[in-house]
Homo-oligomer: A and B are copies of this chain.
């Protein structure tokens, strides 16, 4: 349906430019740098080539078929260009340019003009006044966007009205070392809607979790229906924008007017079964947990730690968020006593001690995995210099492969000195966080998916 947008076999850039600091140059560079697998056709009336790629005077001169065309030219020229795209049988267009409905009646007229021409030819329009899309699929590698984040391939897909917040969230994953799958920031959204994108992401088999940033919803009924269908398949996480009156007014001036109905996104999110976050860091960390771990059966957490204080902090967050840290069975305690150091604490939290080795972590994880009254495992792992942290990481990563109960890890370490240890956990798909509160909140989000 939106394959020509998200999986284009060829991309034309109308308004391609030789000027390095222009969007028409940057998009071609981004496609090249990201290793785009399809054909790139720069369109420019003068330049014979751009970024080393042969340019064409008109889209009609391009020899091959065109799935997707960027349009980066002044708004008044857009309708005629869309007409030409129609003649060339372009399937989708991304209009990066601004100067349409958001600027007043004159712009609205231009928008209606290009839209009717697009409809006539069956062209789908993404934007205008937007950033674009990214697809990290190794077979596609489409960076149809002028942003700067260079994601690894992953399981999280992002849809954001605001390019600024989209990039913010996307870069948040990048900084956390978490890959992403599909990205879409569709600005004014005159044709392809957030709802359609949500449906597409919901149907994408490689997308395990969808992250949304929505400032206003133009068709709440369709959105709720689509989002509910998607949430039945995978979790949808949203950032709430404009939750205060001042914030809502700022949204309004930013996107050019909001009706009373539109700002009640929280009710819409609730009806759609979307998990809402008030903090973008919490949202990113929760998404990374959903991308890598199963959802727990219920709210009962087993904590394993090799340091006291951080276990207290995580306990506080888990309990105050309504999770339970139950006592272990007598059988489990006996088993732990037999396999841990004599001074270790065999309650929940289980403290394997700072000198605890890989075999102690393995014992604690195995026993927690087999405890009926434990639904998820929270590991507090500080890397003391005097233990073999690599073997501990291997045990945790190995247990993660069972996918029996979710494992979340608060990893307190120095990135340069313990790079190998960190790499083992990352390759093993264990979500790791640098603060106990942050890690605990990510687990709380997994439980919310189950309970809500």
Contacts and interface: CB of A to CB of B under 8 A. Distances in A.
**What is the count of identical protomers in the complex?**
2
A213 interface: yes
A412 B163 CA distance: 12
Interface stretch (A7-15, A238-246, A369-377): A238-246
A162 B242 contact: no
A268 interface: no
Interface residues of A, number: 70
B254 A308 contact: yes
Nearest to A325: B246
A165 B250 contact: no
Interface in A317-372: 319-320, 325, 345, 347, 349, 351
Residue among A250, A309, A351 having the largest count of chain B Cβ atoms under 10 Å:
A309
A447 to B, nearest CB: 16
Interface in A261-292: 278-281
A38 interface: no
B386 A250 contact: no
B312 A251 contact: yes
A243 B308 contact: no
B417 A148 contact: yes
A146 interface: yes
A241 B316 contact: yes
A315 B251 CA distance: 10
A23 B168 CA distance: 42
B246 A386 contact: no
Interface stretch (A204-212, A223-231, A429-437): A429-437
B308 A164 contact: yes
A148 B414 contact: yes
Contacts of A434: 171-172, 175
A362 to B, nearest CB: 21
A80 interface: no
A167 interface: yes
Contacts of A23: 386
A23 B384 CA distance: 10
Contact of A313 (B163, B241, B253): B241
Interface string A144-182: 001011000000000011111111100110110000000
Interface string A198-225: 0000000000000001010000000000
A451 interface: no
A309 to B, nearest CB: 3
A435 B167 CA distance: 11
Residue among A240, A251, A347 having the largest count of chain B Cβ atoms under 10 Å:
A251
Contact of A247 (B148, B213, B316): B316
A320 B415 CA distance: 35
Contacts of A35: none
A307 B308 CA distance: 43
Interface string A405-422: 000000011110100000
A168 B315 contact: no
Given A23-B386, A319-B244, A310 B168 contact: yes
Nearest to A417: B148
A320 B244 contact: yes
- Would you list the 5 A-B pairs with minimal beta carbon distance, nearest first? A162-B309, A164-B307, A165-B309, A254-B308, A247-B316
19 contacts: A22-B386, A26-B386, A146-B385, A161-B309, A162-B308, A162-B310, A164-B309, A165-B313, A168-B382, A215-B312, A244-B315, A244-B320, A246-B316, A247-B316, A254-B308, A278-B316, A278-B437, A281-B281, A281-B438
Given A171-B434, A215-B309, 20 more contacts: A26-B385, A146-B385, A148-B383, A149-B414, A162-B309, A164-B307, A164-B309, A164-B310, A164-B382, A166-B309, A171-B414, A172-B435, A175-B434, A241-B309, A242-B312, A242-B316, A254-B308, A254-B312, A279-B437, A280-B435
